[in-house]
Amino acid sequence: MPRPAAAPAPEPGVDDDQEMVLEDLTREQVLDWRNRAAADHQIVHDHIARYGEQSAQRLFTRAFVATVQRLSGLGHLHLGYIPWEQA
């Protein structure tokens, strides 16, 4: 039996009251979330803040979430600008 079309995944940072149901996401939607999270790790942090770490581990994979959190703790994600005079 074909699966009904799921609503598009909410964009990160959009504040709506609709909860994400991972089982309702299509394969393409899951891949889209994972591709965007690989390019911008803040998406993982935002997802954890809104839906919890367990949901993030299911959506992005446990290993990816652990890597993002480890790198975040090391400060690798802070790529701010430092003028040469201050360096």
Task: Give the pTM.
Answer: 0.63
34 belongs to a structural domain: yes
Distance CA 60, CA 47 (A): 10
% of the chain residues with pLDDT over 70: 63
Supply the pLDDT for residue 74: 65
pLDDT single digits (tens) 34-62? 999 999 999 999 999 999 999 999 999 99
**Is the pLDDT at 32 greater than 70, yes or no?**
yes
70 belongs to a structural domain: yes
Q: Based on the structure, what is the number of domains in the chain?
A: 1
Residue 30 belongs to what domain range?
23-74
64 belongs to a structural domain: yes
